[in-house]
Amino acid sequence: MWRDLTVASETSNVSSPQLDDHATGGALELMKYGLGKSKRENVVSKGAPKLDPKVVSANDLKVTLRDCVDDRNWLQYKLNGELKNDVPGGHFRVDATVWRTNGVWKVSDLYMHEVGSC
């Protein structure tokens, strides 16, 4: 899911066909909302977040994950190549629920806490 979002954010492509490969429901809507906001602000993202997810709970159909995402190397840029702002990025907590449906695992719930939350 993160790789799909990272690729789509390079052009702020809310219609990227990859987005629903690994996300559905609220998680997919959250990603599309963020990409749409970036598109309206005429910004794109460069780089990639650093991830280190941990399993909170798991069974045959559902996995709950928690991560402390580092987005200091995944920043937003104006279309002219300048940084959007002087905010350096940071660490933020992410909680996700992943469901297996018809043999495919997809993130359905995604909550990104504020920067500094981990």
Residues in CB range of 70: below 8 A, 6 or more apart? 49, 50, 51, 89, 90, 91
Residue 77's CB: how many other CB atoms inside 10 A?
Answer: 16
Torsion of CA 72, 73, 74, 75, to 10 degrees: 70
pLDDT in tens, the chain (118 residues): 999 999 999 999 999 999 999 999 999 999 999 999 999 999 999 999 999 999 999 999 999 999 999 999 999 999 999 999 988 889 999 999 999 999 999 999 999 999 999 9
Q: Which CATH class is domain 2-115?
A: alpha beta
pTM (predicted TM-score): 0.92
